[in-house]
Amino acid sequence: MTTLLELAERELTEAGERLAKTNQLITEAKAQREQLGTYRDEYVTRNQLILTSGMEVMDLLNYRAFLKNLDRAIIGQEQIVEGYSNLAKNHLALWQASQSKKRSYEVLIEREKLKMHHQELKREQKMMDEFSSNQKRFFPT
Instruction: Report the percentage of the chain scoring pLDDT > 90.
Output: 74
State whether residue 131 is helix, strand or coil. Answer: helix
pLDDT at 50: 80
- Cβ partners under 8 Å of residue 26, min gap 6: 81, 84, 85, 88
pLDDT at 48: 86
Contact by Cβ (8 Å): 67, 43: yes
- Could you tell me the end-to-end alpha-carbon distance of the chain, in angstroms, rounded to an integer? 50
More confident position, 76 or 50: 76
pLDDT band at 110; cut points 50, 70, 90: very high
Task: Please state which of the ranges 13-27, 48-62, 97-111, 112-126 shows the lowest mean pLDDT.
Answer: 48-62
pLDDT at 54: 81
More confident position, 31 or 136: 31
As a dihedral over the C-alpha atoms of residue 43, residue 45, residue 51, residue 52, rounded to 10 degrees, the angle is: 180
Residue 128 pLDDT greater than 80, yes or no:
yes
